[in-house]
Amino acid sequence: MTFVDMGCGEGFFAVPAAKKVGQMGRVYAVDSDPEAIAQLQRTAEREGLKNVVARAGAAEETVFCDSCADYVFLGIVLHDFAEPSLVLQNARRMLKPTGKLVDLDWKKIHMSFGPPYEIRFDENKAAALIRKNSFKVEEVKDSGKYHYLVIARPS
């Protein structure tokens, strides 16, 4: 199995994904912060995870492979990208025809933590953006009190 983490930070999701896919699987991870990538690489090395390929760079300019990914994951970052449509187009390119895009993000509600309210995407905006970029949204659902999930397939 191949898992791509776009906007991976220090690997909060990439490290558990690497354990889940196992030695025969692969995790590709990209983040614009070189220090975060360095920390992810140190964590992967310390934990013996040889299946992580991490790169510092813009997700808008990153395609690890063509039609290789079972999952492309956007972990509370879609609202942060300078050009989210480009990130989604790259995700579409990397996904296998049977693959899934998973967008986990903050609900657009006022709270004292997380990103500013003004930059958050609500579920409808995220789903519409995903649809606009050649995906079929299969499910939109709550993921706890503060987050939602949009799950989609290439269309």
Domains by residue range for the chain, with CATH: 2-154 (3.40.50.150)
C-alpha separations of 45 from 4, 56, 109 in Å: 18, 17, 38
CA–CA dist 27, 11 (Å, integer): 10
| pLDDT at residue 70 in the model | 98
Query: What's the whole-model pTM score?
Result: 0.96
Whole-angstrom Cα distance, residue 105 to residue 6?
13
Residue 15: the pLDDT is 98
53-73: pLDDT as tens digits: 999 999 999 999 999 999 999
For residue 146, how far is the Cα from the chain centroid?
18
Cα gap 136→112, rounded to integer Å: 33
User: Which residues have C-beta within 8 Å of that of residue 16, sequence separation ≥ 6?
Assistant: none
